[in-house]
Structure 1
Amino acid sequence: MKSSVRNTACTKPVGAISSPSADRFAQQSQKRGRWLPSPFSFGAGRLFGSVPHGGALSHPPLQVASLGSGSRGNATVVRADQITLLVDAGFSTREIVARLARLGVTLDEIDAVVLTHEHGDHLVGAGTLARRVGCPVLATQGTFKGGAKRLGRLDNTQVLRPGQSVRLSHVEIHPFTVPHDAEDPIALTLYCDGAHLGIFTDIGTPTDLTAYHLSRCNAALVEFNFDPQMLRDGPYPWPLKERIAGRHGHLANDEAARLLNQCGAQQLQWVAAAHCSQTNNTPQRVRDALDRCLPEQEALSRLLTDQDHGMPWMPVWATPPVP
């Protein structure tokens, strides 16, 4: 089944996902609250779940988990039906194997690696992993060029063009340009059976294009990189501080929260704060920024990804049709 995606980066038959975690989330959907509890988050509240329209529990079209997010490495696993994607591979292959195991995933289940840009904390393990598994790597031409030395020889690649969607099995991947200091960086939305997931890290500055794509998402990982005061008063050299806070750097907490507020967050079931700096940020400052900017969004569940432990499996449901 996997060979069709690995060899051609195209479609393959659809089957039901085995998803005990999604069932557990759904069965707890009666509980309400803001911050999600998990072994890997700093929040306290409810486990998020949903009952799709029709009233019966079912498997979500998409599931997503983070292997870790921060300046020391980023990788996100996305599952839909019989396909498993790795978005970014910012850890060594050995570390990725260990982190996948915590989620009940083996390396040979990875059907494709999708890269957002060529910085080491998003790409360092991609080449070795792809050669070991025999899966395709998808990235922009600029990312392949800028990351060529780290990636090494790749036999199976597909060039992503911002603004042009590609389809892997039943998952539609839509890359779009973001202002980050890389060759041709992108953020992504992934769509399957009515469910939209957004992965918005290393996005530099909030743009109208980013806001548009975020407004269409049912769930999203959004960069909350730094607190301005902590960055200003922190130990980094001034040129690095200017790079981080600059237009092509990273998002501050309040910028990310305002971006969510600008989008209305009406369709969002949950949002995960990602790429949080361990030097220039704290979990509490992320919470405070979200709560200030989204005081009315009680139904929007929130959690924090962690550099060392990431985020456990979370479901992404399709938006029910308007009656």
Structure 2
Amino acid sequence: MSLQITSLNSGSNGNCYYIGNATEAVLIDAGISCRETERRMKRLGLKMDIVKAIFISHEHSDHIRGLEVLSKKYSLPVYITEKTMLHGGLNLHADNVKVFDEATPVIIGTLTVHAFSKAHDAIEPHSFMITADEICIGVFTDIGVPCSNLIRHFKQCHAAFLEANYDEKMLEQGRYPFFLKKRIRGGKGHLSNTQALEVFKAHKPAYMTHLLLSHLSRDNNNPELVLELFRPHAGRTEVIVASRDVETAVYHISAIPQVIVPQVQYVQGQLAF
């Protein structure tokens, strides 16, 4: 038994992550259009009819932009907090709205989804752990600091989507106004490359096979830079940059330790180490 994971898009222009098995799947966030979600899943050989639910991490537009159309077209339940629903200004069919909280895992067929709070400048932001058959997948983006919640869950993951939003030097020397730089690195914005690497080095479980570096800034980061940073520490973990322009490959994650060739790659195939 394995879980299939892919990033359909990752960045400030839209975020959407797929986790599933042969019979059911969930989407974490729906920040690209319904049409683009369909196109990318079709290219990967993934079917919308096994997607059973959408989970929303917070109300920022790059996480909910395609939600209303996607939920309506496929009658998909949307798991969201009441405050996120309100502050996102969403118009969802009442029957499709399912409120979640941190205390109660959500069961979607053979998948279990656990939500936990994170540090981000949204009204009620959450990260997610998706588990099935002892396989644990984490979705950890839009995080201001590597808090104890993140670390505790990261330590359990067979695979994870982990934010590596910006390079400190590029952000400092870049064109962003000071208030925006302060917001990004101020503890409720985003994780830097260095912060993400420290989480990986200090807390990666020995059995983690895949790490998808996510939510890279177009202006303050680049795939080659972050991959060079992670390369010496990858070990047996395959490190992939999730693109802000195209979907990644589909990765099959198992709870059984596998012998894989250590590599670090950019999703569009421009780099391979």
TM-score of the superposed pair, with normalisation by structure 2? 0.89
Q: Is the 8 A contact 2:52 2:108 kept in 1?
A: no
Counterpart for residue 92 of structure 1 = 33
Taking the TM superposition and a 5 Å limit, the aligned residue runs for 1:178-197 are: 178-197=118-137
Counterparts of 1:317 and 1:151, CA distance in 2 = 38
Counterparts of 1:153 and 1:237, CA distance in 2 = 39
Q: Is the 8 A contact 1:128 1:151 kept in 2?
A: no
Counterparts of 2:80 and 2:35, CA distance in 1 = 22
- 1:100 CA displacement: 1.8
| 1:174-207 Cα deviation digits (max 9, x unpaired) | 1000000111101111100010001101011101
Q: How many residues align?
A: 257
Taking the TM superposition and a 5 Å limit, the aligned residue runs for 1:108-257 are: 108-147=49-88, 149-257=89-197
Q: Is the 8 A contact 2:23 2:50 kept in 1?
A: no
Counterparts of 1:319 and 1:143, CA distance in 2 = 37
- 1:77 CA displacement: 1.2
Counterparts of 1:214 and 1:228, CA distance in 2 = 23
Counterpart for residue 35 of structure 1 = none
Counterpart for residue 213 of structure 2 = 273
Q: Which amino acid aligns with 1:95?
A: E
Counterpart for residue 267 of structure 2 = none
Counterparts of 1:191 and 1:159, CA distance in 2 = 19
Q: Is the 8 A contact 2:154 2:204 kept in 1?
A: no
| 1:141-176 Cα deviation digits (max 9, x unpaired) | 2211211x2444442121111243111101110100
Counterpart for residue 13 of structure 1 = none
Counterpart for residue 288 of structure 1 = 228
The DSSP-based 3-state class of the residue aligned with 1:144 is helix
Counterpart for residue 259 of structure 1 = 199
Counterpart for residue 24 of structure 1 = none
Counterpart for residue 264 of structure 2 = none
The DSSP-based 3-state class of the residue aligned with 2:4 is strand
| 1:34-62 Cα deviation digits (max 9, x unpaired) | xxxxxxxxxxxxxxxxxxxxxxxxx41x1
- 1:278 CA displacement: 1.2
Q: Is the 8 A contact 2:146 2:195 kept in 1?
A: yes
* Candidates 225, 235, 256, aligned match of 1:298: 235
The DSSP-based 3-state class of the residue aligned with 2:63 is helix
The DSSP-based 3-state class of the residue aligned with 2:71 is helix
The DSSP-based 3-state class of the residue aligned with 1:155 is helix
Q: Which amino acid aligns with 2:129?
A: T
The DSSP-based 3-state class of the residue aligned with 1:77 is strand
Q: Which amino acid aligns with 1:172?
A: T
Q: Which amino acid aligns with 1:144?
A: M
Q: Which amino acid aligns with 2:36?
A: E
Distance 1:154 1:130, change over 3 A: farther
Counterparts of 2:91 and 2:125, CA distance in 1 = 16
Taking the TM superposition and a 5 Å limit, the aligned residue runs for 1:60-71 are: 60=2, 62-71=3-12
* Candidates 244, 251, 273, aligned match of 1:307: 244
Counterparts of 2:86 and 2:102, CA distance in 1 = 16
Q: Is the 8 A contact 1:178 1:185 kept in 2?
A: yes
- 1:266 CA displacement: 1.4
Q: Which amino acid aligns with 1:248?
A: K
Counterparts of 2:242 and 2:70, CA distance in 1 = 23
Matched, 1:83 2:20: no
The DSSP-based 3-state class of the residue aligned with 1:220 is strand
Q: Is the 8 A contact 2:211 2:237 kept in 1?
A: yes
Q: Is the 8 A contact 1:226 1:281 kept in 2?
A: yes
Counterparts of 2:56 and 2:187, CA distance in 1 = 21
- 1:319 CA displacement: 4.2
Distance 1:231 1:184, change over 3 A: same
Counterparts of 1:214 and 1:223, CA distance in 2 = 12
* Unaligned 5+ runs, structure 2: 258-273
Structure with more contact order per residue of length (Cα contacts < 8 Å, sep ≥ 6): 1
- 1:209 CA displacement: 1.4
Q: Is the 8 A contact 2:34 2:69 kept in 1?
A: yes
* Unaligned 5+ runs, structure 1: 1-58
